[in-house]
Amino acid sequence: MAVNLDPPSILQPVAGIRLASTAAGIAHQGRDDLALIELCAGTRLAAVFTRNAFCAAPVELARRHLSGVNPRYLLVNSGNANAGTGEPGRRDALACCQELAAVCECQTEEVIPFSTGVIGERLPATRINSSLPRLKSGLSSEGWLDAAQAIMTTDTLPKGVSRSLQIDGRCVTITGIAKGAGMMRPDMATMLAYVATDASLSQTLLEQMLRELVGDSFNSITVDGDTSTNDACVLIATGRSKVRIRHTDTAYHDFYQALAEVMTHLAQAIVRDGEGATKFITVWVKGALSEQEAREVAYTVAHSPLVKTAFYAQDPNWGRLLAAVGRANVERLDMNHVDISLDEVTVFSQGGVDVAYSEQVGQRVMARPEITVGINLHRGEHQAKIWTTDLSGEYVRINAEYRS
């Protein structure tokens, strides 16, 4: 069960975008597993992908197509990653793009493929291609929630959010959907995210905003420390609201903040729905010499199996936190100057357990579904936040039975 997360009830349409989903029988029977996102002419798109060296065939093809023309269609399947499939996998991905281009009367390069699911199995291109006419006929501006459900794998619920704001007397909408629950450690993670706005942005500004905002959202989450082969985060601007966003505009800050809220919500939703998760944990490191140092400490704590299982057990075993901080790759770290807290409770300070701390107080904090681990290194002015989960037996079961 997701931690303090409900499925979206309504996702606002974005002018210039239509979506559809259908059941293609890729890996599961009786549920939608194929989604299509149609972009109006003139839409601009920016994307970032996994840094895994074994990136999947659709990632390779998506990068190649995006280096050419502006895309018109995004084709997304769940249940099969089409990764580790070599040249046959590349042919399968291309065949689906070619067939959709024929159905939608566009260029093959205007179709961008995305896949998520089991690694190492051939993509059932024939099943996908036979479903494409049905997808096209089902396109609707109201299709966001259905698409969010179609791209799920081990997710327990769809993830999506919308924001609207007034700029120069006109309404600007931002809507996003995402999937992901495990194999989660950015650069990127096993996630797909699609965020769209009807505002108009230059290609340069679109790419800049995506790079900046991904760092503090989708690249600040982890469930299990694994980096997937298929990850992608896409930012889309249709321009249909006729509201132009420029870096020098007074409205830039408001738009940037709304976009940041959407991407942060989606990123945190992935963690809240982490496989087997019972806790949503924020690791907040302050007082570092650099942001990189702060992130190093935060990720070391977030990836510690001993720390994560202590949270699952609701055990305030602060020694595990201390050990994780101490083994982070930080030169000349003086533990006599490090403070560690659980929410409002200081646990460790001045080289030992805090004088006001008691096990009873620590247990009360650990019983909460959401907990912040505060770590102050007292070395500098930089900080970083990472969001993660606990580690339960249910996580082991889900992944042990993933291909069963």
- Say how far apart CA 183 and CA 29 lie, in whole Å: 24
Q: 59 to each of 50, 76, 114, 234, 268, how far by Cα in Å?
A: 8, 11, 7, 12, 24
**Which phi and psi angles does 154 have, rounded to 5°?**
-90, 5
**Matching residue, tokens 């890996």:** 27
| Burial call 18-38: b when 16+ CB within 10 Å, e when fewer | bbbbbbbbbbeeeebbbbbbb
288, containing H or E segment: strand 280-288
Given a contact cutoff of 8 angstroms between Cβ atoms, the answer to whether 277 and 390 are in contact is yes
Nearest to 101 by CA among 79, 124, 80, 129: 129
Pick the catalytic residue from 173, 190, 227, 388. 190
**Quick check: is 190 catalytic?**
yes
Question: Buried (b) or exposed (e) across 292-328, using 16+ Cβ within 10 A?
Answer: ebbbbbbbbbbbbeebbbbbbebebbbebbbebbeeb
Whole-angstrom Cα distance, residue 391 to residue 289?
A: 30
Note whether 135 and 147 are within 8 A (CB): no
Angstrom distance (rounded) from CA 257 to CA 305: 34
How far, in Å, are 92, 142, 147, 395 from residue 127 at the CA level?
11, 25, 18, 31
For the CA atoms of 115, 116, 120, 125, the dihedral, rounded to the nearest 10 degrees, stands at -40
Q: Which two tokens stand for residue 43?
A: 């839409």
Structure tokens at 391: 């580690």
Q: Which residues are catalytic?
A: 190
